[in-house]
A = this chain, B = another copy of it.
Amino acid sequence: MLNAADDLLVEQGFAATTIEGIATRAGVAKQTIYRWWKSKVDILLDALADDAREALAWAEPAGTPSEDLTAHLHRVGAFFGEPAGQVFQALLGHAQLDKDTAVALREGFLLEQRERDAAGLGALVERHVGEAPDRETVDRLVDLLLGPVHYRILVLGGPVDDALVEATARAVLEEAAG
């Protein structure tokens, strides 16, 4: 069922991903879907949870902090090209239109992801400057880090290029070094 939803979204887009369509595709009755989820958003959230956790995870240190940071940003940029990333993008889009979706997405995914990002970036900054930044600082740094890439993709709809990634990484490390 989650696969059917995923596939339909990637193939046909969010609007054409109807509950009836998912049911048909999955060879399942509509009622069965309603038994487990209350909307297609709910289904996609479930589909997202597994995939995205992994795709947006912070890798183990493999080079200098700067290198690791740019690598992570590139991974984030690439994520939006994958199926799970398209689901994420669709849910983000729908969250702008519907408060319930916004809340569900926040609580079902974004808050956790924020924690992972804070932990990942916090550790990286500690490696860089020698001491762990406090939580408020880390939060701010996460926004500085992820904002430009998301802006490029979600608002401008453009690809993420090296120059932006490097400038962003540089800005974050400088700000962290204070």
- Report the interface size class on chain A: 35 or more
Q: Give the CA-CA distance A160 to B93 in the complex, in Å.
A: 20
Interface membership of A30, Cβ < 8 A: no
How many monomers of this chain does the complex have? Answer: 4
Interface residues in A119-155 (C-beta closer than 8 Å to B): 136, 140, 143-144, 146-152, 154-155
A96 — which chain B residues lie within 8 A by C-beta? 14, 89-90, 92-94, 96, 154
Contact B92 A154 (CB under 8 A): yes
A157 — which chain B residues lie within 8 A by C-beta? 95, 102, 106
Q: Give the CA-CA distance A167 to B151 in the complex, in Å.
A: 17
Closest to A102 in B: B157
Name the contact of A156 in the complex, choosing from B110, B136, B149, B175 (C-beta under 8 A): B110
Interface residues in A84-102 (C-beta closer than 8 Å to B): 89-90, 92-99, 102
Chain A interface (Cβ within 8 Å of chain B)?
13-15, 89-90, 92-99, 102, 106, 110, 114, 136, 140, 143-144, 146-152, 154-157, 163-164, 167-168, 170-172, 174-175
